[in-house]
Amino acid sequence: MQEKAAESQERLRLELWSFGFKYGAMEGNLVTDVRFMPNPYYIPDLRHMTGKDEACAAYVFKDSSTGEFASALTELIIRMERSFAGQDRKVLKVAIGCTGGQHRSVAVVESIARILRASGLQPEVHHKELETALR
């Protein structure tokens, strides 16, 4: 039993962060910008939502290039996770930013997290601007 506990403590921690560039860029092992994706902020019915809301996420992913980008990014994260784990690194931090950190980056992080979980990984999901708004 102690062996399993030690193994889980030593496992690489995979963190996925969404953030808003207008509040300052985040540091991470991989930082990417999704401001090229369709922006729900400019749609009055979606502006008050976040990327966690189905209608907002659907708008972000309505363009096929969004899904293609998210798939490619997910594949890169999986490859990085394998490499980091093989190097006994402790944390792989992926930060995905859009303008305000409410819509696009949140939708992409949530989508990637679902795919990673389905592949057996256990990412920690953080939404910097949403968490800040709750304080």
Helical H segments across 14-134, by residue range: 44-47, 54-60, 64-86, 104-118, 128-134
Structure-token pair, residue 63: 């363009």
Give me the mean pLDDT over the 13-33 stretch.
Answer: 97
pLDDT score recorded for residue 133: 67
Q: Which residues are CB-neighbours of 34 under 8 A, at least 6 positions away?
A: 69, 96, 97, 98, 104, 105, 108
- pLDDT band (50, 70, 90) for residue 132: confident
| pLDDT number for residue 134 | 63
pTM, to two decimals = 0.90
pLDDT (tens digit, 9 = 90+) per residue, 102-115?
999 999 999 999 99
Q: For 47-68, how does the pLDDT look when each residue is reduced to its tens digit (9 = 90+)?
A: 999 999 999 999 999 999 999 9
